[in-house]
C-alpha cells in the first residue's frame, strides 16, 4: 500500500474523455481543491489518450495531485501517472503491484460487493471504490448501493472511495458513513465552472473535518 503518495482524503475528480478543454478543466478543479485526478477515455485512440494523459500529469505537478489512469497500465507507465484504477475485468492487483512496484497507487472498483472488497483489501491495494450511491448521468444503469456498505468497508484497511451521482448536497452522509474520498465525474467536469464545483466539495470536506476534530 502506497500511503505516502495517496492523499488522506478529499475530492477525487474523474476526467472522462473525450472532453473539450479537459486539461484546463482539470486545472480549474485542482484550483478548487481536488486532491486526486483520474483520467478515463474508452473512445479516443491511443495517441490522443497518451497526449492527454501526459498533459494532465504535467498540469498536476504544481498542485502535487496524483493522476490515476483508468484500466490501462501501459498508458499509466508511458504518461508517468501515479497509479491505475482496476475494474472487475482487469488484471489481478497482486500481478499489477508486482509489475508497477511499491510506489504506484492502485485502486479497485468494488461496486456494491463487500466480499470483493475484502478480497481486494488483502491484495495490497490503496483504495476501494464503491457505488453508485445516487443516480448518475455518467453511468445511468449502475446499480445503487447503500451507504451502510461504507461503514463496513471502513474497517478493511485501504482508503474508501464513494462514487455515483455524488454532489456537495448529498455527500455529507457518505463521509459520515466512512468514505475518505468522494469521486465525481459530471459534478465537476460537467459543470460550467469546475473550480466552483470543486470548491463546494472542498468546503464540505473542511466542514466534516472541523466537526470530527
Bond preceding residue 132 cis, omega within 30 of 0: yes
User: pLDDT at residue 141 above 80?
Assistant: no
Determine the pLDDT at residue 3: 53
- Residue 8 annotated in ligand binding: no
**Which CATH code for domain 10-212?**
3.20.20.70
- Residue 112 annotated in ligand binding: no
Residues 55-67: what's their mean pLDDT?
98
- Residue 139 annotated in ligand binding: yes
Q: Where are the domains of the chain?
A: 10-212
What is the C-alpha separation between 90 and 66, in angstroms, rounded? Answer: 21
Contact assessment for residue 75 and residue 50, using Cβ atoms and an 8 Å cutoff: yes
* DSSP type of residue 64: T
Q: Which three cell numbers stand for residue 205?
A: 470536506
- Residue 46 annotated in ligand binding: no
List, for residues 111-140, the tens digit of each pLDDT value.
999 999 999 999 999 999 999 999 877 777
- Residue 138 annotated in ligand binding: yes
pTM: 0.94
Give ∠ CA 155-129-200 in degrees, rounded to 5: 100
Determine the pLDDT at residue 142: 76
- Residue 212 annotated in ligand binding: no
* DSSP type of residue 79: H
User: pLDDT at residue 13 above 90?
Assistant: yes
- Residue 70 annotated in ligand binding: yes
- Residue 123 annotated in ligand binding: no
Amino acid at each position: 500500500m502506497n500511503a505516502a503518495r495517496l492523499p488522506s482524503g478529499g475530492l477525487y475528480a474523474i476526467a472522462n474523455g473525450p472532453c473539450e478543454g479537459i486539461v484546463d478543466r482539470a486545472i480549474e478543479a485542482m484550483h478548487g481543491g481536488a486532491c486526486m485526478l483520474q483520467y478515463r477515455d474508452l473512445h479516443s485512440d491511443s495517441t490522443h489518450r497518451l497526449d492527454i494523459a501526459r498533459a494532465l500529469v504535467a498540469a498536476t505537478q504544481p498542485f502535487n495531485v496524483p493522476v490515476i489512469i483508468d484500466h490501462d497500465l501501459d498508458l499509466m507507465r508511458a504518461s508517468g501517472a501515479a497509479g491505475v484504477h482496476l475494474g472487475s475485468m482487469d488484471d489481478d492487483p497482486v500481478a499489477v503491484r508486482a509489475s508497477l512496484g511499491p510506489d504506484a497507487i492502485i485502486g479497485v472498483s468494488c461496486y456494491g460487493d463487500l466480499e470483493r472488497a475484502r478480497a481486494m483489501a488483502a491484495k495490497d491495494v490503496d483504495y476501494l471504490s464503491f457505488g453508485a450511491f445516487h443516480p448518475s448521468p455518467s453511468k445511468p444503469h449502475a446499480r445503487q448501493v447503500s451507504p451502510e456498505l461504507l461503514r463496513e468497508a471502513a474497517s478493511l484497511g485501504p482508503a474508501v472511495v464513494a462514487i455515483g451521482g455524488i454532489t456537495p448536497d448529498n455527500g455529507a452522509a457518505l463521509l459520515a458513513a466512512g468514505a475518505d474520498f468522494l469521486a465525481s465525474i459530471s459534478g465537476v467536469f460537467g459543470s460550467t465552472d469546475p473550480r466552483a464545483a470543486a470548491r463546494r466539495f472542498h468546503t464540505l470536506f473542511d466542514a466534516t473535518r472541523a466537526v470530527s476534530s
